[in-house]
Amino acid sequence: MSRKASMSESNLIDKIEKEFPESKPTPASHFAEGYEGIWFRGSEDSVDHVPIFDYWNEMTVHPKLSEILMNAGWYSEPYDAGTLMAFKEW
């Protein structure tokens, strides 16, 4: 069984910026040196009254952002209650 290849970090950031700019994706290395992945600087914002990331509601991620990540072979993970990151699936 072959797995779908993950989209590169830079290509995924470009895609998210076009389709879901409110999330403000940037390389995770801008958050902390040595981090690989994507940091969502807008994770505490909302789109159409739906939070981009809601740690207090079972760590819910906006459905549109979640779908983009899943289709690209990535997953989201909280760094803390107000910071969302994304990483490539292995």
For residues 58 and 44, what is the distance between their CA atoms, to the nearest angstrom? 15
Per-residue pLDDT, 3: 53
Work out whether the CA dihedral 46, 49, 81, 86 comes out positive or negative: negative
Q: Return the higher-pLDDT residue of 3 and 69.
A: 69
Domain ranges in the chain? 9-88
- 53-75 mean pLDDT: 96
For residues 59 and 12, what is the distance between their CA atoms, to the nearest angstrom? 22
Asked which of 3-17, 26-40, 68-82 is least confident by mean pLDDT, the reply is 3-17
The SS3 assignment for 73 reads coil
* Mean pLDDT, rounded, of the chain: 93
Q: Return the structure tokens found at 53.
A: 């990331």
Q: What predicted TM-score, i.e. pTM, was given to this entire model?
A: 0.89
- 62-86 mean pLDDT: 96
Chain segment 13-41, per-residue pLDDT in tens: 999 999 999 999 999 999 999 989 999 99
For residues 24 and 8, what is the distance between their CA atoms, to the nearest angstrom? 17
Taking the CA of residue 80 as centre, how many other CA atoms within 13 Å lie in the half-sphere pointing to its CB? 3
For residues 64 and 43, what is the distance between their CA atoms, to the nearest angstrom? 13
